[in-house]
Amino acid sequence: MEVTLKEVWEAQQNLKGVTRRTPLFYTDTFSEACGCRLYLKCENKQKTGSFKLRGAYNKVVSLTQEEKERGVIASSAGNHAQGVAYAATAFGVKATIVMPHTAPAAKVAATKGYGAEVVQAGQVYDECYAKALEVQKETGATFLHPFDDVHVMAGQGTIGLEILDDLSETDVVVVPVGGGGLIAGVSTAVKSLKPSVRVIGVQAEVVASSKASLEKGEVVTLPGAKSLADGIAVATPGTLCFKAMQRYVDEIVTVTEDEISYAIFSLMQRGKLLAEGAGAVPLAALLAGKVKDIKGKNVVAMVSGGNIDITAVGKIIEKEVAAATGEELCS
């Protein structure tokens, strides 16, 4: 199966009264810095702190009664975990989430708070995914994939519907890419309704598996790596996601860890927004000039989530203030 506009519209109906219609607002500050008319789509203001609730809830809605009775299991660096926990609890379904040991403490605590049992395994997403499959075989629970699933992609695609509804003159949409579920859904919705819109993905340079896959023309697995953008540090993109990316995504660019750090800091300092690493990569790419041909264009940068560990925030502030102070001293 492939995700289509029809599935995205159906997901929008399923999510009515559940998810928030998140704000899309124009930013003078970042428009000037990036050389375009820049709008921020703030999924960090979504329930559970990220866009992942959309896909997770839409998937749980699709389950049969028998599947719900067996319980659900998922693997996640944190945001899908919270979305699944929230959705499962809403339907009275037992949820087990496997998260890496490196997952931010705030995401682990929030997942437990939404009612799920948390099992920690591995250092990166792909290791906890393997563990989740083991547990699934032992328990018979229904596995909810964080990205490579039509219902999940369709749920994420509802963001694209909201963007075009709020800004019909959108020229470019810049989206974080990990396994590909978000950009697959959003690009399907946006391109189906307005093919002229350019959809640009952004990955962390240290594990740019979707970019490598598109360049090679087949799904590629890269060595796992830790990143400030933990939510998109995925070694292998989804097969279904990859097909959608091949069809609808114009380009994927990468950003360095320093560029991600600066974008997180800038969103806090200038935008008054708290974003996690994955949520900041679109702005990071724009600030670093990685997205071309945007002068005078209406550009939407997705702030996909705000679930960042508070200790990481402190370190980023310290690092960026020191860097700025050092530049002032040098000048």
Given 210, 213, 261, 304, the catalytic residue: 304
What pLDDT digit, counting tens, does each position of 37-72 carry?
999 999 999 999 999 999 999 999 999 999 999 999
Residue 150: partners with Cβ closer than 8 Å, 6 or more residues away: 1, 2, 3, 7, 240
What pLDDT digit, counting tens, does each position of 234-248 carry?
999 999 999 999 999
Band (pLDDT 50/70/90 cuts) for residue 331 is very low
Q: From its phi and psi, is residue 19 left (phi > 0), alpha (psi between -120 and 50) or beta?
A: beta
What pLDDT digit, counting tens, does each position of 137-194 carry?
999 999 999 999 999 999 999 999 999 999 999 999 999 999 999 999 999 999 999 9
Given 41, 52, 59, 191, the catalytic residue: 52
- CATH for 52-143 is 3.40.50.1100
Question: Exposed, middle or buried by CB within 10 Å (0-12, 13-18, 19+), for 166?
Answer: middle
pLDDT for residue 328: 54
The lowest-confidence range among 87-101, 123-137, 272-286 is 123-137
What pLDDT digit, counting tens, does each position of 4-38 carry?
999 999 999 999 999 999 999 999 999 999 999 99
Residue 272: partners with Cβ closer than 8 Å, 6 or more residues away: none
- Please report, rounded to a whole number, the percentage of residues in the chain having pLDDT higher than 90: 84
Band (pLDDT 50/70/90 cuts) for residue 327 is low
Active-site residue, 304 included: yes
Tell the CATH topology of 5-47+149-319: Rossmann fold (3.40.50)
User: For the chain, where do the domains classified as CATH 3.40.50.1100 start and end?
Assistant: 5-47+149-319, 52-143
Active-site residue, 75 included: no
